[in-house]
Amino acid sequence: MNVVEQISYWRTGSDEDWDVAEITLEKGKIRHGLFFLHLAMEKLLKAHVCQVTGSHPPRIHDLIRLTRQAELQLPEAWMLLLGRMNAFCLIGRYPGNPTSQNIANDVALRYLTDAQEVRTWLLQKLS
C-alpha cells in the first residue's frame, strides 16, 4: 500500500463530498446534505488513520472510532459534534429515520459551520 496515495485518495474524496454537502444544504436538501457532511468527515478521518497506521482504514462509519484510531486528540466539544454527526450516515441510507425528519435548515447549516472548524484543523494536520 502506498500511504501517500491512500491519504490523497481519502482527502480528495472528502473534498468532493464536502462540496456536495455545501451545495445540497444551501438548497435545503437536509437529509442528503447531512449525509454528505458525515461522509466528508469520515473520509478525512480515514486519511488520518492511513497517516498514523500506514495501512488501510477500517470499513466503518463511526467518526469517534476513526478519531481514536487516528490517535487524534480533539477538544471535547468537537468529539461531541462528531458523535452527534454519526447519525447522519444513517439518514442518507435508510428512509424514515426520525433523526432526519426533525432537523431544521438553520440547524443543518450550523452543523456545516461547526464541522468546518474541525475540518480545517484536520486538513492542517495531514502531511
pLDDT band per the 50, 70, 90 thresholds, residue 101: low
- For residues 85 and 103, the answer to whether their CB atoms sit within 8 Å is no
pLDDT band per the 50, 70, 90 thresholds, residue 98: low
Residue with the larger pLDDT of the pair 122 and 101 = 122
- Residue 110 grid cell: 450550523
CATH number at residue 24: 1.20.120.330
pLDDT band per the 50, 70, 90 thresholds, residue 63: very high
- For residues 107 and 87, the answer to whether their CB atoms sit within 8 Å is no
- Percent of the chain past pLDDT 90, that is, above it, reads 85
Query: What pTM was estimated for this model as a whole?
Result: 0.94
Range of the domain at 51: 3-125
Q: Is the pLDDT of residue 28 over 80?
A: yes
- State how many domains the chain has: 1
